[in-house]
Amino acid sequence: MARMGFVIIVSRCIDCRACMVACSVENGVPVGRHRNWVNTVGPTGTFPDLGMAHIPGNCMHCEHPSCQRVCPTGATYTRPDGIVMIDQDDCIGCGYCIIACPYNARFMNEETGTPDKCTLCVQRIDAGRQPACVETCIGASRLYGDFDDPDSVVPRLLAENASYRLLTESGNGPQIYYID
Amino acid sequence: MTCLAEQLINETDPAALGRLFAALAATVADPRTDAGRLALEDDFVFGLSALAYELGVVVDTERDPERIPKTATCGASAASGHAVISVDDAEAEYVRLFVCDRYGPQCPPWASYYTEGRLAGSSALRARDHAADIGDAVPLEEADAAVRELGSVAMLLLEGRRAAGERYLAEHVSPWMASFAERLSDHAHLEHLRLAALLLGELFAPASRLPTALEVTA
Amino acid sequence: MSGIEFIDSHRFSRRAFIGGSVGAISAALIAKRFGALDAFAADAPPSPVDPLVTDGEIHTICEMCVWRCGVRATVRDGRVVKLDGNSDHPHSLGKLCPRGQAGLMTAYDPDRLKFPLIRAGKRGSGVWKRATWDEAMAYVAEQMQRIKKDYGPQAMVFSSTHNPMQVQFENLLNAYGSPNYGTQRSLCFNAMITANQLTYGVDEPGRDYANARYIIYAGRNLAEAISNSETQELVNAIANGTKVVVLDPRFTKTAAKAHRWLPVRPGTDLAFFLALIHELIYQGEYDRAFVDNHTVGFEELKLEVKPFTVEWAATHTEIAAETIRTVAHELAAARPRAFVHPNWRTSNFINSFQTERAVAVLNALIGAWAAPGGVCEVSGEGAVELGAPKQPAYPRNAALRLDGVPWKYPLVSLKLGIFQNIREAIITGEPYQAKGWFIYRQNPVLSLPDRTRTLAAFDKLELIVSIDISMNDTSWYSDVVLPEATYLERFDPLIVSGDRVFIRQPVIKPLFESRSGLMIFQDLGTRLGLEQFFQYQDELEYLGYQVEPLAVSVDELRRAGSVKVELPPIEPYAFRTPSGKIELSSSLLAAAGQAPVPTWEEPPKPKDGEFYLLTGKVAQHTQFATQNNVYLHDLEPGNYLWLNPSAAQAAGIADGDTARVKSTSGEVLVPVRVTEGIREDCVYLTPGFGHVSKALMTAYGAGVSDSDLHVTYTDPVSGGQALSQTFVAVEKV
């Protein structure tokens, strides 16, 4: 089996947000909406002892996605490789999935009338290329791959580094692992 | 429900409606072209209102802040009671609205601007494809300009092709023409453009969602 | 009276109208099938079909900033739909920054220039006449000829942001015969280049990040003033354990990644580096062998820096003496795999020239030159010889340059110039009155400090011509505005990067009536009677000349995107200085009556209650060029004033309040961001905002311009502009 996901090395992120522009252009996302993001924590502390961190994110392609549970039509589904997708034809635009996602990873796309989110650039990875955000990440903070493939960079990074995930208490089993 | 323009296609003589669209296209055409010059003629503003009136497109010119039609005291031609528009004034207005004012056009005339905030959007792709289908090789960035789209509607209707005209209108023109009309109304000074703004606004205002009559079941 | 009544009240014959004019047009529509469109829309002139401008993937070069990364453009249905980094290009290494990614909106910006314009009202009125290229060029040429005849060619000023067209831009002004050449470089890095030229005989040393163990920056903010590949290298170096020290009064994103952030008082980084030099010399931790073999002037330097102890530096920089001492030792321990980054201009003060000299000298003291992990000479643009059409020698012109180079500023190179001085000379009319200004790919009204002075200079000119891709603040005040095609739509002269020659080529046809600079100059040159200097009929012919020494055809180059070349070897220890060695003490400086070794120059300080006005960059914008780009505006829609909490409290300002910021040049109203990340005596405002036109769909009302605040201060030695020496008062509104 395959289990696609991301490893994000937080210390490498410089908050340039090239990933956000690349994603929007690649996937025709309406300007002002975002499938991915960078959250900044800080500056924390008091002058001059300060810290700051930038934390990229996007749909976590969860193993047990809340969005899929609440979808009344089955439009939200998981591919065999673990990528969570939306079938636009089956989607009725009810928007329950947007509310259900603990990561706020989905938004209503006004142009299509249906929810929208990261698709791990399936059109690129199926053609042997990297997702747009990963390819352009200046800091090489964003990495992706198959956690079930020992040759992929992501399981190797997890083996060698302490990592954490966000909101694990949700029980969703998110597939973005953060390394500091 | 559809906007007034789409209703009119089904309810009126397509040739008459076609002429209205031709005249509207002339108002937003470059004054250096034949159609653009047409819009500067003495009788044009009257004729345009008359065409519209005949088709039941009614606008209250009293509400227009610039109060068209102008009175005879402002350098009007005696015959029409309208101000005479010089070619220089028309060109300056055209440039200001559609080409460049201080940083850009005050009233961008391309569909893609209103639907996608850019030039050469999917509106332009579709418009270019439509033009190509009828043998007209239009540069992509100019394909969805108001003058071309209104002219395309005019052409389809003048040929009596109601259904094609309605499809073209719904797909290419209705999504943005009301916004364009509002923008034009904000910025245009010259009479023919202000009238065009009012008429386009009326034609393309999104229809009310309330039913016009309620079915009563016995 | 309503329209209906009005119509009814006139005995106007509707039928006559319907039958008449509109009817005629309608018939024409049917007949022509709206095809030729003569009746309705002016046709664009047909352009020849270029088979390589087609759907697919096309390689070209980005122009969203000066780094000029290699780009792979994906074109579908004749539109650019995605830009990706070219992995073959040393500046992109397969990645693009947010501006590069957003670049396609440059071509599709509804506010971009589309047609030549000639002003039809007063300058700055925004009233234009749309002209044909023929009309516009005839007017420009006629005026330029008249100015040449009546006042001499020196009365025409030519200025441009340095870019790949420089070779042809310089060709135009040289052929025309004017010595007055302005570029933006004095607003950026005159201090750095002049200092490095005097010390090493190179413009800017390269940096070996892969092997460096210790790096010191002063103001250079690679995480936000992104230079794609170099930013990548820095992040990788830090991940690999390289220690980084950042001197900056502000907690930038680069400072946030540093091991030490030293919030020095602005203008005092010079003291810091002088103290480092002192420490290394007097603690015996410098590289003796290197200094003996490759430098001159050590004894003079040692004498000069004697008083510059870490304690002395601590009083100026407000960094603890122990910290300064520790950094000196850490630097020494890491040498030679260490360097002090040349930066662009450190603290942006007049004494930044001395700071750059101190930095250059420090790198020599630690023996970092030509060492792994240090600095070195890298091949520049001139390393690869490209072909050119044969042309006669340029006419000679003995007139003095208006910017005072070199007759007032003997140490400033001609290619750098002092841009802000040109403006002053236009205002004063000394040494002679300029009459015309030809501005290419540049926005001096926003980039020069003190906007009102630039406009005062414009009032003295009879001709202002602007060539750009958008109606920027400068074009707005011009007499003639010519639309250049964006970088995605044009050829430019070939670009040398590392050991490859790259081509910038159109990935889509030029939109509307825009044209490449190559052809605009060819047309203008021909009309000016200078056709022997512009012997090409189209861009491909010009490029054909350029590729001749490269043993590749233009076609092959277009398909491949680049070609590898052999670079001449660099002699690492042959310094192009008068002594042939690294000049810790510079004989040229001495000859010019300046301090020959780096020395202390006390920077000015703001009065009580005043603040230093800092400038800087954000990753999402390039100076003033990108605020109207929808993707970039979405990420960073405006600017706000950074203010330390103590200062905010003292002024009674809360986060989000509006503040009035005033300098002797002007004032702005701007929202405040209260942050710990800045010294109490400093405020910061991101430049580039403050475009004021409603028609700028996206940028209207976004932010304020710091050029309204900047006061003009010029370093007398390097001609560099001291942008941060402006002090401001801040009060709640």
Average pLDDT estimate for C229-254: 98
The pLDDT of residue C237 is above 50: yes
- Which chains form contacts with chain A, at 3 or more CB pairs under 8 Å? C
Does B92 sit within 8 Å of C120, measured CB to CB?
yes
CA distance C2 to chain A (A): 39
C77: chain B residues, CB-CB within 8 Å: 125, 140
Has domain A4-179 been given CATH number 3.30.70.20? yes
* pLDDT, position C37: 46
Q: pLDDT tier at C473 (50, 70, 90 boundaries)? A: confident
Does B100 sit within 8 Å of C117, measured CB to CB?
yes
Tell me which of B44, B46, B88, B103 to substitute to probe the interface with C (most C C-beta atoms closer than 10 Å): B103
Does A139 sit within 8 Å of C256, measured CB to CB?
no
* pLDDT, position C131: 94
* pLDDT, position C257: 98
C644: chain A residues, CB-CB within 8 Å: 47
Average pLDDT estimate for B148-170: 93
Reported as half-sphere exposure (CB side, CA atoms, 13 A), residue B165 has a value of 26
Does C470 sit within 8 Å of B134, measured CB to CB?
no
C637: chain A residues, CB-CB within 8 Å: none
Q: pLDDT tier at B216 (50, 70, 90 boundaries)? A: low
CA distance B84 to chain C (A): 17
SS3 string, B4-56, reads HHHHHHHHCCHHHHHHHHHHHHHHCCCCCCHHHHHCCCCCHHHHHHHHHHHCC
Average pLDDT estimate for C429-448: 93
**Torsional sign, CA C123, C124, C125, C129:** positive
C-alpha to C-alpha distance for C70 and B129, rounded to whole angstroms: 32
Averaged pLDDT of chain B: 84
Q: Minimum mean pLDDT among A48-62, B96-110, C555-569: which range?
A: B96-110
Q: pLDDT tier at B96 (50, 70, 90 boundaries)? A: very high
Residue C286 neighbours by CB under 8 Å, 6+ apart? C280, C332, C365, C366, C367
For B41, name the nearest residue in chain C, comparing CA atoms only.
C21
* pLDDT, position B42: 81
CA distance A167 to chain C (A): 26
* pLDDT, position B63: 64
Q: pLDDT tier at B206 (50, 70, 90 boundaries)? A: confident
Which 78-107 residues of chain A touch chain C by CB within 8 A? none
Q: Is A70 near chain C, with CB under 8 Å?
A: no
Which residue bears the tokens 């010079």? Answer: C270
C-alpha to C-alpha distance for C92 and C87, rounded to whole angstroms: 7
Which residue bears the tokens 């201090």? Answer: C191
Which 146-205 residues of chain B touch chain C by CB within 8 A? 147-148, 151-152, 154-155, 158-159
Decide: helix, strand or coil at residue C251. Answer: coil
* pLDDT, position B180: 97
Averaged pLDDT of chain A: 96
Which 144-173 residues of chain A touch chain C by CB within 8 A? none
**Torsional sign, CA A23, A27, A30, A36:** negative
For residue C245, give both structure tokens: 């020290």
C-alpha closest to that of C687 among C446, C494, C375, C338: C446
ipTM of the complex: 0.97
Which helix (H) or strand (E) covers residue A39, if one does?
Answer: strand A36-46
* pLDDT, position C690: 74
Does A138 sit within 8 Å of C256, measured CB to CB?
no
C-alpha closest to that of A60 among A27, A104, A94: A104
Instruction: Give residue-wise pLDDT tens across range B173-189.
Output: 999 999 999 999 999 99
B179: chain C residues, CB-CB within 8 Å: none
Instruction: Give residue-wise pLDDT tens across range C128-157.
Output: 999 999 999 999 999 999 999 999 999 999
Q: Minimum mean pLDDT among B156-170, C24-38, C369-383, C630-644: which range?
A: C24-38
Average pLDDT estimate for B21-25: 93
For A30, name the nearest residue in chain C, comparing CA atoms only.
C631
Cβ atoms within 10 A of the Cβ of C654, count? 11
Domains of chain C: residue spans and CATH: 1-43 (no CATH), 134-188+383-485+516-551 (3.40.50.740), 206-376+575-591 (3.40.228.10), 610-732 (2.40.40.20)
Average pLDDT estimate for C544-552: 95
Burial environment of residue C140 by CB neighbours within 10 A (0 to 12, 13 to 18, 19 or more): buried
Cβ atoms within 10 A of the Cβ of C332, count? 20
Beta partners for residue B83, in sequence order: B76
* pLDDT, position C15: 52
* Higher pLDDT among residues C466 and C715, named by residue: C466
Does A31 sit within 8 Å of C632, measured CB to CB?
no
CA distance A74 to chain C (A): 31
Confirm if A139 and A27 have CB atoms less than 8 A apart: no
* pLDDT, position C628: 79
Q: Is C348 near chain A, with CB under 8 Å?
A: no
* pLDDT, position C599: 97
Which 53-112 residues of chain C touch chain B by CB within 8 A? 77-79, 105, 107-112
The pLDDT of residue C673 is above 90: yes
Instruction: Give residue-wise pLDDT tens across range A42-60.
Output: 999 999 999 999 999 999 9
Q: Minimum mean pLDDT among B150-154, C225-229, C264-268, C688-692: which range?
A: C688-692
**Helix then strand then coil, % of chain C, to nearest 5:** 35, 15, 50
Q: pLDDT tier at B75 (50, 70, 90 boundaries)? A: very low
Does A11 sit within 8 Å of C257, measured CB to CB?
yes
Q: How far is CA C194 from CA B101, C185, C354, in A?
A: 42, 11, 10
Which residue bears the tokens 């693009």? Answer: C96
C-alpha to C-alpha distance for C246 and A68, rounded to whole angstroms: 47
**Torsional sign, CA A171, A173, A176, A177:** positive
| Number of CB pairs, chain B paired with chain C, less than 8 A apart | 226
The pLDDT of residue C40 is above 70: no
The Cα diameter of chain B in Å comes to: 66
Q: How far is CA C39 from CA C32, C154, C164, in A?
A: 9, 47, 41
Nearest by CB to C30, from B34, B139, B158: name it. B158
Cβ atoms within 10 A of the Cβ of C533, count? 21
Confirm if C620 and C98 have CB atoms less than 8 A apart: yes
Q: Is C644 near chain A, with CB under 8 Å?
A: yes
The pLDDT of residue C20 is above 90: no
Q: What percent of chain C lies above the pLDDT cut of 70?
A: 92
* pLDDT, position A161: 97
Does A11 sit within 8 Å of C677, measured CB to CB?
no
Nearest by CB to C34, from B58, B112, B151: name it. B151
A18: chain C residues, CB-CB within 8 Å: 95-98, 100-101, 619
Hey, what amino acid is at C706?
A: D
Which residue bears the tokens 């790259």? Answer: C502
* pLDDT, position B95: 94
The pLDDT of residue C49 is above 70: yes
Cβ atoms within 10 A of the Cβ of C33, count? 12
For residue B153, give both structure tokens: 């509607």
Q: pLDDT tier at C451 (50, 70, 90 boundaries)? A: confident
Q: pLDDT tier at C25 (50, 70, 90 boundaries)? A: low
Q: Minimum mean pLDDT among A31-35, B37-41, C424-428: which range?
A: B37-41
Q: pLDDT tier at B78 (50, 70, 90 boundaries)? A: very low
SS3 string, C139-180, reads HHHHHHHHHHHHHCHHHEEEEECCCCCHHHHHHHHHHHCCCC
The pLDDT of residue B124 is above 70: yes
Q: Is A48 near chain C, with CB under 8 Å?
A: yes
Averaged pLDDT of chain C: 91
C-alpha to C-alpha distance for C169 and C441, rounded to whole angstroms: 11
User: Which phi and psi angles does C668 have, rounded to 5°?
Assistant: -140, 155
CA distance C40 to chain B (A): 5
C691: chain B residues, CB-CB within 8 Å: 103
C-alpha closest to that of C100 among C53, C142, C65: C65
Does C263 sit within 8 Å of A32, measured CB to CB?
no
| Number of CB pairs, chain A paired with chain C, less than 8 A apart | 115
A14: chain C residues, CB-CB within 8 Å: 223-224, 226, 231, 235, 253-254, 257, 619
* pLDDT, position B71: 35
Does B99 sit within 8 Å of C130, measured CB to CB?
yes
Hey, what amino acid is at A112?
A: T
Q: pLDDT tier at C594 (50, 70, 90 boundaries)? A: very high
Nearest by CB to B92, from C30, C105, C127: name it. C127
* pLDDT, position C126: 82
